[in-house]
Structure formats: structure tokens, C-alpha cells
Amino acid sequence: MEATIGLEVHVRLRTESKLFCGCSTETVGAEPNENTCPICLGFPGSKPMVNRKAVEHGVRVAKALSCGLVPEVRFSRKSYFYPDMPKNYQITQYEVPLAEGGYMTVNGERIRIRRVHLEEDPAKLVHVGGDITSSRYNLIDYNRSGVPLAEIVTEPDIEDTKEARLFLEKLGVMLDHLGVYDPHAEGSLRVDANVSVDGGSRVEVKNITGFRNVEKALTFEVVRQRSMARMGIDVSRETRHFDAETGSTSSLRSKEQEEDYGYIIEPDLVKINLRPEWVQGIEATMPELPDQRTRRLVEQHGISGFQAGVIVEAGLAMSLFYEECCRLYGDAGTVANWLVTYLLKSLNYMGLMLRESGVEPETFVELLTLIDEGVISERTAKELIKDYAASGESPRLIVEEKGLALMDMDELKAVVSEVVSMNPKAVEDYLGGTGKASEYLVGQVLRRVRARADANVVRKIIIDMLDSNEGNASVAQ
């Protein structure tokens, strides 16, 4: 049974003020309902005014998705009655959106973009004593009311849940590069997912946050609908809620038709003319997009396409971090190898973002320099990077505090000589032609010195010693 999936992605745009008023969009640390005014509270007679920066951000999003801009843009009123919308309508774009007809390529397949439009965010409902379906009562915080959103609507081109997640991950990286949203802000990207199986009724799953949760919600819904089809039960056209804790969806209400919202042109806002010269000015300031950056990293730094992809997909901060490390260190291949293979894995294991870790280009390069200087071995560095990623502390200080520096050569040779003299059987086996006997001796030395010696250096000292008169003398003893 084939699944058909379309996404409606709501992106919280990065602006200082709301879409139609001058209230701050900052919600972190603000008291409930602190950043409000008659406009975002929907007082009668209050008049909205469009935020220019939000429109600019919307144009950047549309251009990055290869959409065609609509020359004259209008806002509409979408009427519905819900506690989070004090006016009993939402100002959005319906008849005339900002842009139409773009696409994004995911794994070689085009996912078509139906439209990009701007709208205001509703208020935030706080469900006390449960979730949206079971809470004892709800509180409303209007600080979020009126925050500008860009809604990106795809065509139903997505064929499976994994592809939906890949689309969202790539979209998130693109938006991060554009600088139009903060990927770490609460509710910065929310998804309404529409799914049907074998051409059946379309079900909408509302307000999913987190790419993994989108995949989980869609997987559950596809399985649910397929099971119903096998049992001969009709799937109802409805809106459902996803519970991240249980990984399941539950019915909220029957799905509204577009005509149920009673759209009308917003009479308090004039049409917006997107003049060609103004759009061209925005295009001239468009930053490098992820696919472009990936290609450039390969061409400029000579790293593999896989490494470049991992770095870019980790976000703009990681891309900038990598390039600064290359500038400071010089060997772009070594930087990429240690970043992708060890640093990123350590951060992901601990659930840390780069900005949360305290890791800086200067200290990361310091770690690589310690290897080059022979202060620590690569083996030690692979262990040390875990502590470094967690704390961001200077690797040189960590080495000093934990006594991880390599032994000097004379001290190491003394340990090797002692191990050789204590293992005459292994020495005899090696001199008799059993080459692997030397590896036993290497292991014995490393057990004593732990991470304070490089295995290759130890191996060379042992072989040189056994192949010399010192080795023969040890057997004689």
C-alpha cells in the first residue's frame, strides 16, 4: 500500500518585532503576556502594519526554494474560533500568497513546493494536568501571538516517512544558512503532516515539533491507516494529535474544508507590491546555500563529498567552525577527519550542540597541534576529545591535569628493556621466526604505560632492540 505525504512547515522568522506590531518577539525569560499590545491581543479598532523584515525573509526563503514570487501580495482573514486566536481570525495569505511553484531536491528526487506564504502565529496554550486531550484546564500566553511565520507547503510528493524527515532536515539547514530563523528557539519549526494510503482519505497530524517526531508520527499514521484498510474500515478525514511520549496519534476533530474558514481579503492591510529592483537587492545579499557550500568545500579543501556533506548538514555554525579551523591549522583534510570522525560523534553521543559545548576553533586546533608536536598520541587524542567536547577546556590543560603526555624516549626505552628481560620466551619465539611474539611484548609495554606511549613507537623500539645485540643478550640471560 503506497503512502502519500505532504507537509505544511511553519517557520518562525527571526525578527525583533512581531508581524503586525512593534512588540518584541523574545519569549525566553519574558513573563506570560508581557510582550503584548492591542494589535496582537486583537482589540477592536487596532490596526496592523506589516513588518518589512519578515517580508524580506519570506522572499529569501522563496528564492532559495526556486519559487516564483507573486508581484502583488495580499493578506487574508482566516476565521476560526479557538482560545489561541483572540480576534477569532488569523491574518494569513490564502488567495494571493507570497510565492508559488518551487522545489527542493532530496536524494535526487524533487519535492515540489506548492506555496510559501506569511502569517501570524497564534498564542501559546499551556495544558495543565495533561496534554491537549486530557488537561484539567488551559492557560494562554499571548507573547507568541503575532510572531511572524513563513509557511512552506509541499505538494504530496513524499513517498515514505524517512524521505519526509530528510526533506525537513535539509530544509532546516537551508533556513539556518539563510539566517531567517533560529534553529534553537522554542517552536522555531513546526509541522502539520498530511498523509493518506492508496488514495484514501487524507488525515492531518497537527503541530509536530522535531524531525524525529515527524518521522515517528507519520510512521504510526501510515501503519494505522494500512491496518484499517486491511480490515475494511474506512479512514475518516480528520485532524489528529501526536503524543511524543507514546509515539501515537489520537483524534482531535473532523477535518475542516477550506471554505469552512470563510477567507476574506484583510481590509486593514493594503496589497504589497514586490518591485523587481527591491527583490533584486535581496537576491544580491543571498548567502551561500548548503548545496553550494558542500560543493565548494570539496573543491576548495579537497575533502570528500561525504565529509563535506556531514559538516554542512550539521548546521551553519559547524560549517563556519570547520573553515576557521582550516584557516588556523592549514591541513583541511586532517581537520575534516577529526571533526567528522571524532568531534561530531562525541557531541552527538552527549546530545550537545556545538554552541553548548564551549568548543572553539582555537582549542580544537590546539588538540591537533598536540599530536603533531608529539605531546600526545592519536590514541590518547581520541580519548581526550570526549572530555574536551564535554567541557571545551584547553586540550593542553587537560593533558597536564591528567598526566597524558607521552613519555620521553629514554624513559620509554627503560620500560621496554624491562619488559623484554621479563619475557625471555617471547623474545626467543621472535628470534626463532614467530613475528607475532613482538606484538605480545608491545601489548605488555602498553599495559604498563597506558596512553603515554604510541604503539607504533613502542613496536619500533622493541623490534630494534630484539634485532640488535641487546635482544640476543636478553635471551642469554
**Quick one: pLDDT at residue 473?**
46
Question: Based on the domain organization, do 117 and 263 belong to the same domain?
Answer: yes
Treating both helix axes as pointing N-terminal to C-terminal, what angle do 469-476 and 409-422 enclose, rounded to 10 degrees?
40
Q: What pairs with residue 192 in β-bridges?
A: 8
Question: Based on the domain organization, do 347 and 444 belong to the same domain?
Answer: no
- Quick check: 125 and 84 in contact, CB under 8 A? yes
Residue 286 domain-assigned (yes or no): no
- Structural element, H or E, at residue 3: strand 3-12
Question: Based on the domain organization, do 264 and 333 belong to the same domain?
Answer: no
- Structural element, H or E, at residue 443: helix 437-449
Residue 38 domain-assigned (yes or no): yes
Rounded Cα distance, 279 and 73, in Å: 13
Treating both helix axes as pointing N-terminal to C-terminal, what angle do 305-313 and 316-329 enclose, rounded to 10 degrees?
130
Q: Digits of tens for pLDDT over the chain (477 positions)? A: 688 999 999 999 999 999 999 999 998 889 999 999 999 999 999 999 999 999 999 999 999 999 999 999 999 999 988 888 889 999 999 989 999 999 999 989 999 999 999 999 999 988 898 877 788 898 999 999 999 999 999 999 998 999 999 999 999 999 999 999 988 887 899 999 999 998 788 999 998 998 999 999 999 999 999 999 899 898 889 999 998 889 999 988 876 666 778 899 999 999 999 999 999 999 999 999 999 999 999 999 999 999 999 999 999 999 999 999 999 998 999 999 999 999 999 999 998 888 888 899 999 999 999 999 989 888 889 989 999 999 999 999 999 888 888 877 888 889 888 899 899 888 888 888 887 888 888 888 888 877 677 788 888 888 888 887 544 544 444
Alpha-helical runs (H) found in 258-343: 276-284, 290-301, 305-313, 316-329, 332-338
Residue 285 domain-assigned (yes or no): no
The closest of 116, 193, 171 to 148, measured between CA atoms, is 116
Residue 101 domain-assigned (yes or no): yes
Instruction: Count Cβ atoms below 10 Å from residue 423 Cβ, excluding itself.
Output: 17
- Quick check: 9 and 210 in contact, CB under 8 A? no
Q: How far is CA 326 from CA 297, 303, 338, 339, 340, in A?
A: 11, 12, 12, 11, 14
Question: Based on the domain organization, do 458 and 347 belong to the same domain?
Answer: no
Question: Based on the domain organization, do 417 and 449 belong to the same domain?
Answer: yes
Question: Based on the domain organization, do 87 and 145 belong to the same domain?
Answer: yes
Instruction: Count Cβ atoms below 10 Å from residue 179 Cβ, excluding itself.
Output: 12
Question: Based on the domain organization, do 384 and 438 belong to the same domain?
Answer: no
Residue 288 domain-assigned (yes or no): no
- 84-88 long-range Cβ contacts below 8 angstroms, 24+ apart: 84/122, 84/123, 84/124, 84/125, 84/140, 84/145, 85/42, 85/122, 85/123, 85/145, 86/41, 86/42, 86/123, 86/142, 86/145, 87/42, 88/42
Rounded Cα distance, 343 and 348, in Å: 9
Rounded Cα distance, 294 and 309, in Å: 6
What strands, in cross-sheet order, belong to the sheet with 264-265?
Answer: 89-92, 76-79, 264-265
Rounded Cα distance, 251 and 242, in Å: 9
Residue 293 domain-assigned (yes or no): no
Question: Based on the domain organization, do 398 and 428 belong to the same domain?
Answer: no
Rounded Cα distance, 434 and 425, in Å: 11
Q: How far is CA 142 from CA 21, 48, 121, 125, 369, in A?
A: 13, 16, 10, 9, 52
Query: What is the grid cell recorded at 474?
Result: 636478553
Residue 65 domain-assigned (yes or no): yes
Looking at 361, 380, 402, the residue that finishes a domain is 402
- Quick check: 149 and 10 in contact, CB under 8 A? yes
Pairing of strands 137-141, 89-92: unpaired
Eight-state DSSP code of residue 158: B
Count of structural domains, the chain: 3
Instruction: Count Cβ atoms below 10 Å from residue 354 Cβ, excluding itself.
Output: 19
Task: Give the CATH number, domain containing residue 421.
Answer: 1.10.10
- Quick check: 291 and 331 in contact, CB under 8 A? no
Instruction: Count Cβ atoms below 10 Å from residue 166 Cβ, excluding itself.
Output: 18
Query: What is the grid cell recorded at 27?
Result: 519569549
Question: Based on the domain organization, do 73 and 123 belong to the same domain?
Answer: yes
Residue 179 domain-assigned (yes or no): yes
Sorted by sequence, the CB contacts under 8 Å of residue 402 that are 6+ apart come out as none
The closest of 194, 214, 210, 193 to 202, measured between CA atoms, is 194
Question: Based on the domain organization, do 387 and 417 belong to the same domain?
Answer: no
Question: Based on the domain organization, do 395 and 415 belong to the same domain?
Answer: no
Looking at 370, 402, 434, the residue that finishes a domain is 402
- Quick check: 17 and 168 in contact, CB under 8 A? no
Sorted by sequence, the CB contacts under 8 Å of residue 404 that are 6+ apart come out as 376, 380, 384, 398, 451, 452
**DSSP secondary structure string for all residues of 272-295:** EE--HHHHHHHHHTPPPPHHHHHH
Looking at 375, 402, 429, the residue that finishes a domain is 402
Give residue 432's domain range.
Answer: 409-476
